[in-house]
Amino acid sequence: MIDALIGTAAAYGCRVERDLPMAELTSFRIGGPADKVITLPDIQAAAAINGICVDQNIPHLWIGKGSNLLVSDAGFRGVVLKLATGGVPVRTDETHVTCFAGVGLPTLSRFAQSQGLSGLEFACGIPGSVGGAVLMNAGAYGGCMADVLESVTVLRGDRAVEIPAGELAMGYRHTTLMQTGEPVVAATFRLAVGDPAAMDARITELLAARREKQPLEYPSAGSFFKRPEGHFAGALIENCGLKGRRVGGAEVSQKHAGFVINVGGATCADVQELAWQVRTVVRRETGVLLQPEVRLIGEEWKTVEE
Ligand SMILES: Cc1cc2nc3c(=O)[nH]c(=O)nc-3n(C[C@H](O)[C@H](O)[C@H](O)COP(=O)(O)OP(=O)(O)OC[C@H]3O[C@@H](n4cnc5c(N)ncnc54)[C@H](O)[C@@H]3O)c2cc1C
């Protein structure tokens, strides 16, 4: 079964790696080995491989740039599927841009700016792929993917199907794709004609704000918790005196309490324990139960008493 999959992957020009530590595929630099990692160069390859995995019930996990993932120290038993990061966005008319979902969000944001198309400036510093960002409805500084996404192309088995963004029920860090598990292979954005110099200035300003406020010098998965209604996770955590709290190599960032960082050799178990301590204390002190934004692979979050 797996041999047939690998044979097809080779025929489509995919890269296949065995026993690859997921730590090498995630911005957290955490995670045990994946049995196989297949990097897919284009939609045709992705469709063929997805079709086989779905038809034959082969355990598989789609990832993008791994910038919102915490992977178990035991790794992943099955096949990790990853779109290649190369590829160039294409402007298809006056206001539309389309691209392969493996493309990095900063690349897409910069492409739009260079074309004088506004709407994706908010995305310039989000280190994910277009596919991962669509799935998560990633957002920052008052913008999110839902504001500009026109349609996505997903895979149903080995078929590519285009879906209007309006059918994805996009909300705060939520889309229906999280339930369907359908991989995103391409996306089309509707942007507004704007002034490239003004957009460039906005991008520079947003990147500087990130450098100033976020612990970008350490591996992390970005904001660890979702924003609870009426609160900011970072402020709640800081007010509970948890800044700098450490378990093993995992630490609540001193610079931004909403980030859990890997200060060196952190394991998934360290992060699990730290996240549980933070959630437990914040729940007890403020009544708010923080929910992780980071996607945990291979295990469940430790339960916090309600
Ligand atoms: C320093 C830092 C700053 C960040 N800032 C922000 C921010 O401002 N705003 C924000 O929203 N996020 C932020 N993030 C989190 C992260 O970058 C986003 O969630 C991003 O959209 C994840 O994309 P990814 O390609 O890395 O997805 P991954 O982390 O690889 O995967 C995330 C989820 O998407 C799924 N997935 C990935 N690719 C596909 C695909 N092609 N089809 C279907 N499912 C797929 C995975 O299975 C997983 O469930 C930050 C992270 C870091 C490390």
Task: Give the tens place of pLDDT for each residue, 131-157.
Answer: 999 999 999 999 999 999 999 999 999
Nearest atom in ligand 1 to 101's CA: 41
In this predicted structure, the answer to whether residue 160 has a pLDDT above a threshold of 90 is yes
Residue (of 17, 40, 75, 13) closest to 298 by Cα position: 75
pLDDT at position 12 is 97
* Helices (H), ranges, 142-195: 145-148, 177-180
Nearest atom in ligand 1 to 134's CA: 21
Nearest atom in ligand 1 to 133's CA: 21
Residue (of 144, 185, 138, 145) closest to 163 by Cα position: 185
Does the C-beta of 219 come closer than 6 Å to ligand 1? no
pLDDT at position 87 is 87
pLDDT, mean of residues 45-69? 97
Does the C-beta of 133 come closer than 6 Å to ligand 1? yes
pLDDT, mean of residues 245-259? 98
Task: Provide the pLDDT confidence category of residue 60 given band limits of 50, 70 and 90.
Answer: very high
pLDDT at position 1 is 77
2: left (phi over 0), alpha (psi -120 to 50) or beta: alpha
Residue 168 DSSP label: G
Query: What would the two tokens of residue 100 be?
Result: 């392969």
Phi, psi of 129, deg, nearest 5:
-90, 165
Proportion of the chain above pLDDT 70, given as a percent:
100
pLDDT at position 81 is 98
pLDDT, mean of residues 201-211? 98
Task: Provide the pLDDT confidence category of residue 3 given band limits of 50, 70 and 90.
Answer: confident
Residue 227 DSSP label: P
Nearest CA to ligand 1 atom 44: 183
- The residues pairing with 43 across neighbouring beta strands, listed in sequence order, are none
Cβ atoms of 132 and 63 within 8 Å: the answer is: yes
Distance, in Å, from the CA atom of 108 to the CA atom of 46, rounded to the nearest integer, reads 21
Distance, in Å, from the CA atom of 257 to the CA atom of 246, rounded to the nearest integer, reads 12
Task: Provide the pLDDT confidence category of residue 2 given band limits of 50, 70 and 90.
Answer: confident
Ligand 1 centroid to Cα of residue 1, in Å, is 30
* Selected residue with higher pLDDT from 203 and 1: 203
pLDDT at position 233 is 98
Distance, in Å, from the CA atom of 121 to the CA atom of 124, rounded to the nearest integer, reads 6
Residue (of 151, 158, 159) closest to 186 by Cα position: 151
Domains of the chain and CATH, by start: 2-83 (3.30.43.10), 90-211 (3.30.465.10), 217-297 (3.90.78.10)
pLDDT at position 67 is 98
Ligand 1 centroid to Cα of residue 199, in Å, is 23
pLDDT at position 305 is 80
Does the C-beta of 26 come closer than 6 Å to ligand 1? no
Ligand 1 centroid to Cα of residue 128, in Å, is 5
pLDDT at position 86 is 85
Task: Provide the pLDDT confidence category of residue 223 given band limits of 50, 70 and 90.
Answer: very high
pLDDT, averaged across the chain: 97
Residue type, position 181, single letter:
G
Nearest CA to ligand 1 atom 52: 222
